[in-house]
Amino acid sequence: MEGSGGEALVAAVASTAAPKSPWGKVGVGAAAPCSLADVMSEELAQELSRADTGTQDEALSLEFLAVEGAVPGPVGDTESDVLLAKLLQMEFDREHDALLRREQDKLNRDSKVSISFENYRMSHPYEDSDSSEEEVDWQDTQHDPYRAAKPQPFPRCGFTGRGKSMTTKHDEALCGRKNTARMEHFPPEFCSGDGIQMDLKLSNQVFNVLKQHSQAEQRRSARLHEKKEHSTSDQAMDARTRLLLYKMVNAGVLESISGCISTGKESVVFHAAGGRMENKEVPSECAVKVFKTTLNEFKNRDKYIKDDYRFKDRFSKLNPRKVIRMWAEKEMHNLARMRAVGIRCPEVVLLKKHVLVMSFLGEGQVPAPKLKEARLSSAQLSLAYEQVVQMMLTLFHGCNLVHADLSEYNLLWHRGEVWLIDVSQSVEPTHPHGLEFLYRDCRNVSQFFRKAGVPEALDEQDLFNLVSGLSIAAKGEAEFLAEVEQQEKMHEGHAHGLRRKGVAVNPAAVASLAQ
């Protein structure tokens, strides 16, 4: 038995030793075949386990046989060709894995994000788990062992378990975990936290409230973003306004634009260095008035323009956003009319949509102080009062306008004289509320100079009669305003009749006809 076992061992080793050409003729130089009983004998197995295989390829082939359950057949059978083909395929797979590993290392060398080809590798049963190859980090895969598992979808039947252990899809804890997992679908700016790790259970009511809140916040942020992009804020400009100013600088009208010098309800004023124009002289210092493109400040101020006969026909046909351009156009026309009669006010240089370029009242980029902020002596205050009253008379009779927002904030003290600004809301005396606006201007002027200690300052009723040319008896404020409204209706009717006849309307003539 021992002799036959030794011969079988020699035959097996000889049969596993592949010829130089594995596809050569079978049986050439092979040992004599042995029986199946000899191969399956226990002594042969023990002898093979004690024998030194000699080479690594022979050990791998025997291990592969043991795992696959392949039994070497007799010499001359085609089973040895199948074994050699599998060994060759293993070599090809190992070369493929080595190539993938080299490509992976090459791509991940200088990259902040690692790439793994682990899913494309060929795994083999003979490979040892304790190999010296690099272990794949769990961060390179989609599986995170430290993250709590999300609740699995419920079966279609709607319940699991039987009897007392039955759990339905309406289970409170199950629905709470599911709502917590659904919070991950909220917008990115909504901070929901890691509720899955904390095993947070949200009721349907709480989840619905959070969902509605997230949607409302998303819509609100979108509106704010659009509002910022399409409107001007206190000291900032939108893209369209910046483009207009860039064009002015590129055209040479302005050399440069400095910082903000004044802010108001409906506009922002910037200082700019003047440039040149072909048909007009540009001052060395300019004031760029940018009307805000938001409609909030203009919703309650449309009465200044929609009842003005100069813009009445155009107002109803325009988009509300274009009303802002009309404000700039109205101020340009009012300033031109005022300068024509000698009223001290800024000179218009250029108008582009809602941007108005005017001459700068001040020196060295320092704007002239407002009458409210100017430190004037008693003599200067008396002089300023006389100039303001004369300015109101000239504005009403010579310029046929009412300022409609005259106060110590819209009067500047520049070079020892009073200058008038901010006339975008000015209307004609025949406006349906023209005399009412005039009375308000007289009240503001009278109260300011009386508080400043000017002895010759008239009260608002006497100043109104002086400027308007009317002779309304001094009464209480309510009765006086009622009489002013009656005069407005009479003025409006006479002015309308004169316009239909094509006659130029003069406030003094209208007042005389009304009386």
Cα(183)–Cα(3) distance, integer angstroms: 77
Which pair of tokens denotes residue 366? 């320092």
> What does 209-261 look like in DSSP terms, one character per residue?
HHHHHHHHHHHHHHHHHHHHHTS--SS---HHHHHHHHHHHHHTSEEEEEEEE
H/E stretch holding 94? helix 79-107
Instruction: Output the pLDDT for position 22.
Output: 53
Cα(92)–Cα(168) distance, integer angstroms: 53
Q: How do residues 27-61 score in pLDDT, each as one tens digit?
A: 545 555 666 666 666 677 677 766 654 444 555 55
Active-site option among 97, 405, 422, 441: 405
Instruction: Output the pLDDT for position 74.
Output: 47
Cα(512)–Cα(497) distance, integer angstroms: 15
Helix (H, G, I), strand (E, B) or coil at 11: helix
* Helix ranges, 108-202 (H): 172-182
Find tokens 């590798």 and name the residue: 121
Cβ partners under 8 Å of residue 474, min gap 6: 461, 462, 480
Phi, psi of 104 (to 5 degrees): -65, -45
Tell me whether residue 313 is one of the annotated catalytic residues. no
Cβ partners under 8 Å of residue 16, min gap 6: 58, 61, 62, 72, 80
Type of residue found at 443: R
Tell me which residue of 238, 267, 270, 247 sits closest to 257, measured CA to CA: 270
pTM of the model: 0.55
Which pair of tokens denotes residue 234? 């206190």
Q: How do residues 475-505 score in pLDDT, each as one tens digit?
A: 788 888 888 888 877 766 665 555 555 555 5
Instruction: Output the pLDDT for position 199.
Output: 79
Report the C-alpha dihedral over residues 335, 340, 342, 348, rounded to 10 degrees.
40
Strands 267-274 and 285-291: antiparallel
* Parts of the chain with a pLDDT under 70: 1-42, 45, 49-79, 112, 123-154, 156, 195-196, 224-236, 294-321, 491-515
Residue 253 and residue 280 in contact, taking contact as beta carbons nearer than 8 Å? no
Tell me which residue of 161, 209, 155, 199 sits closest to 178, measured CA to CA: 199
